[in-house]
Structure 1
Amino acid sequence: MNKNYYAIVMAGGVGSRFWPVSTTEFPKQFHDMLGTGETLIQKTFSRLSQLIPKENILILTNEVYNDLILEQLPGVKQEQIVLEPAMRNTAPCILYASLKIKKQNPNAVMVVAPSDHWIEDELQFVSNLQHAFDFCEREDKLMTLGILPTFPNTGYGYIEYDKLDSRPIKKVVQFREKPDYATARKFIQSRNFLWNAGIFVWSVESILKAYEDFNPVMYSEFMNGFDVLNTADEKQFIKEYYPNSENISVDYAILEKAQNVYVLPATFDWNDLGTWGSLYDKLPKDEQDNAVVNATVILENASNNIIRTEGKKLVVVDGLQDFIIVDKDDVLLIYPKGKEQDIKRITAMANELK
């Protein structure tokens, strides 16, 4: 394996739309959401380690999840876990991890990938990632992997690329915010828009140069502690300086300002598993299009439901269509799939009752 290849796995999210399974204490990346026998972060680590040396995969997360990561990824050493003392969006944490990598290997090329996404064709994923690594080793470019849209989704950001660019890797024109339905339809019809999957590839030299150019304040603040990174004094420096970092995404801080951003249209199937509905889409169904995870079921006049329990609990359903039915500890959720975006609000209400 190429010792210059690195990965930063983003594992600090809460996944509140997957309540009651995903909670602040135990978020979705640490659950076996698909019933495969592996949690999402375990599948992500396994997928990346097909191309990247395991010791070069850093897990970027909040410090409260440190023990969970060590438990679920027993081959990972403590020094591979990059702990945020405060939640500050993606720009500060990616800069922090990138500086740690630079100190280890200034020739590094890295991928930044979410820990909780679903990717089916792993051979194609590895092939696409290799293509991106080869490009970023040769060129001073910032890259993202874009997903060919299959319908006008309003829940994703989009990447617009140069229509006239016939090369496999396209020049990005601009990043577009989550659109309304009419705008999303126009994007699809234009045929030069991709879903933004939040998977980025670049050399450590290129991304740090971009931070220095476009976010010099953040860059200089972190560079103040460069000498102590990967030493015993790192924790104290980060504890003192990190909470003062700007709360901003890498998209806003860097990618929307840089002129050397490119996208590779991915050839693997992808789903961000952001909601119960997106999980339903990827699960096997019965003859009435019910998706079942873990449960034993008796279903009559029931269709298009997703049913998930802990263990093999018996669930009897009669007369329900298009519902989310989730049983977890002391919570039972029975909620219309069409209102799944409201689950985040319901989660906040439930937390207030604790």
Structure 2
Amino acid sequence: MSTFYPVIPAGGSGTRLWPLSRQGSPKFLHRLGPDERSLLQLTLARLEPLAPPARTYIVCGAAHREAIAAQLPDLPAENIVVEPAGRNSGPAIALAAAIIEAHDPDAVMGSFAADHLISVGDAFRAAIRNAIAVAETGRLVTVGVTATRAETGYGYIQGGAALGIGDAVDVRSFKEKPDAETAQAYLDSGEYVWNAGMFVWRVADLMDELRRQVPEIARLVQPVADLWPSDTPRARALLEDVWTRMPSISIDHAVVEGAAARGRVAMVPGDMGWSDIGDWDTIAEIGLLEGNRLAQPRDTLLLDSPGSFATTASGRAVTVVGVPDVVVVETPTAILVVRRSEAQRVKEAVDLWKSRGRDDLL
């Protein structure tokens, strides 16, 4: 059986969770659930039964390296791979795959976002073990999350014929975020699951697909990876140079969709209590269902405000009276008040502050 290596891409700034999530302190570094640990710490913890920190890699930006190292003291320093600049998930995952392949050519790797919340860890690990078994047959495997509602904010995966390995199936198609009517049709059909962006594959198979579909990425990461095991400082210096020529593309568009069209992608479904915590409405839902408050619950008071949610990061008391279905977020430098139904528009507000030159708020 191949050795399993998790990879955690930790990028982005989570603008829909502004003002808590910022460029210098993105959402994966925060506690956004009932646990005292950050989303990143929770991600590593649920992977540890599958692979120790010594076999886990994180790809991040330079601005977050120190904070990640502080939160994950058991992770070897050389396993934190710093991107010189954000280039979407394709190059980040390709670089990690090439580094792992240079160390262990027969390895199976998995890619897992740093900022998602999964409440049923055993179900998650069962799905990943099944995905590993499928990946060892040469398939690229995506982990689909059981759809529980007609969600318009997620992409969907259409399953096909059973493969005879656990509950794995062929992938018939990937669908972009649908409108409400289409999402309901997907849910009613029973053929679709949510695309949570979790992937498992042999590193050799992924590198083959990269060379086939986006050869420029494979060509640029290979010399860095070849140096990494023997001379990591020199490899990091080379990375600075090659990254200036690196295209920006997601791993879905770079590899997965093209491979699926040729029948090479499989899907393992999972009912694991997954959430991408994509906006404040989601946070409010989690907080209200679990009686959870993000930062200092004793400093928030909601009176006759059903469906509302408040949090404070400075210690100042936040009071909401007679206002239903809103989110109030207080930080030392910014205050957000938003209707839950308008939570996706927080990114617009961040863009407007940026256009005003208020980089201090970003």
- The TM-score by the shorter chain falls in which range? over 0.9
Matches of residues 266-345 of structure 1 in structure 2 within 5 Å? 266-285=270-289, 292-293=293-294, 294-296=296-298, 297-310=300-313, 313-345=316-348
Counterpart residue identity of residue 350, structure 1: W
User: Which residue in 1 is equivalent to 2:28?
Assistant: 29
User: Which residue in 1 is equivalent to 2:150?
Assistant: 152
User: Which residue in 1 is equivalent to 2:14?
Assistant: 15
Which shifted more, 15-24 or 120-129? 120-129
Unaligned runs of 5+ in 2: none
Shift of the alpha carbon at 1:349? 2.2
Q: Aligned with 1:292: secondary structure?
A: coil
Does 1:347 pair with 2:350?
Answer: yes
Contact 2:2–2:106 (CA under 8 A) maintained in structure 1: no
Shift of the alpha carbon at 1:226? 4.0
Q: Distance in 2 between matches of 1:333 and 1:220?
A: 45
Matches of residues 1-354 of structure 1 in structure 2 within 5 Å? 4-137=3-136, 139-162=137-160, 164-165=161-162, 167=164, 168-230=167-229, 231=231, 232-258=233-259, 259-285=263-289, 292-293=293-294, 294-296=296-298, 297-310=300-313, 313-351=316-354, 352-353=357-358, 354=360
Q: Aligned with 2:25: secondary structure?
A: coil
Counterpart residue identity of residue 265, structure 1: P
Shift of the alpha carbon at 1:218? 2.0
RMSD between aligned alpha carbons?
Answer: 1.8
Q: Distance in 1 between matches of 2:106 and 2:163?
A: 30
Shift of the alpha carbon at 1:300? 2.2
Contact 2:155–2:175 (CA under 8 A) maintained in structure 1: yes
Q: Aligned with 1:283: secondary structure?
A: helix
Q: Distance in 2 between matches of 1:180 and 1:347?
A: 25
Identical amino acids, percent of aligned pairs: 28
Counterpart residue identity of residue 228, structure 2: L
Cα distance change on mapping 1:291 and 1:55 into 2, 3 Å: closer
Q: Distance in 1 between matches of 2:55 and 2:2?
A: 8
Which shifted more, 126-135 or 16-25? 126-135
Deviations 1:239-293 (A, max 9, x none): 001121111111111111113100011131111111111122222449xxx8633
Q: Distance in 1 between matches of 2:71 and 2:224?
A: 30
- The structure with the largest helix share of the pair is 2
Shift of the alpha carbon at 1:85? 0.3
Cα distance change on mapping 1:224 and 1:311 into 2, 3 Å: closer
Counterpart residue identity of residue 295, structure 1: P
Give the number of aligned pairs: 348
TM-score by length of 1: 0.93
Counterpart residue identity of residue 140, structure 2: L
Counterpart residue identity of residue 278, structure 1: T
Unaligned runs of 5+ in 1: none
Deviations 1:180-223 (A, max 9, x none): 11221221122111110000001111111111222222212322
TM-score by length of 2: 0.91
Contact 1:5–1:53 (CA under 8 A) maintained in structure 2: no
Counterpart residue identity of residue 310, structure 1: A
